[in-house]
Amino acid sequence: MWQSAINYLRSLRTYQDLSPDAGIRRQVNVQLSKRPSLSLEDWSQLFPKVLTNKASQRLLAFVYERLPIYSGLQISKIRPSDRLIEDLQLPLVCWFDWPHQLCCDFYETFQVDISEEFDESLLETVGDLVWFLNQQLESWDSFAPG
């Protein structure tokens, strides 16, 4: 019986260690709230180097939809120059497995496996993240048959 109680308490501690920090998430959202909200169309215009084809537009819609799910942040207020760690605090505001979930969602949406190439620690900004994902799509398109 004591072992069950100890396991339960350990699981609570682990859950807290792996879950998002709601206080930091709130702070980041307060900072972001000072900016105007952008629709997907307006937000996509901030990424001119990426808007080259229909797949790129699907990619931007994917990021616009999925990043708030992982982070709890207001994507309509996030800009390409926002730094993933210093500005958005992604390691603290996201669940611990957000990179894995991103890779799974990316595969489900685009049928491109990025799990071997994706390393969020090598990406500095949101623009870098979008650029990386776009490069993965373009690389796959160049090797896809047909």
Within 10 angstroms of residue 30's Cβ, the number of other Cβ atoms is 9
Taking Cα atoms as reference points, which of 118, 128, 114, 37 lies closest to residue 75? 37
What gap in Å lies between CA 117 and CA 136, rounded to an integer?
Answer: 9
pLDDT tens digits for range 1-52: 555 555 444 444 444 555 789 999 999 999 999 999 999 999 999 998 766 6
Contact 24, 85 (CB under 8 A): no
Please write the tens of the pLDDT for every residue from 67-92: 999 999 999 999 999 999 999 999 99
pLDDT of amino acid 9: 43
Higher pLDDT, 128 or 6: 128
Burial profile 76-103: b = 16 or more Cβ within 10 angstroms, e = fewer:
bbbebebebeebbbbbebbeeebbeebb
- Rounded to whole angstroms, how far apart are CA atoms 12 and 44? 40
Element (DSSP H or E) covering residue 131: helix 126-143
Q: Contact at 8 Å (CB) between 59 and 101?
A: no
pLDDT at 129 over 90: yes
Side chain identity at 85, as an amino acid letter? I
Given pLDDT bands bounded at 50, 70 and 90, which one contains residue 138?
confident
Cα–Cα nearest to 120, from 142, 76, 145, 89? 89
* pLDDT at residue 111 tops 70: yes
Q: How many helices (H) and strands (E) does the chain have?
A: 7, 0
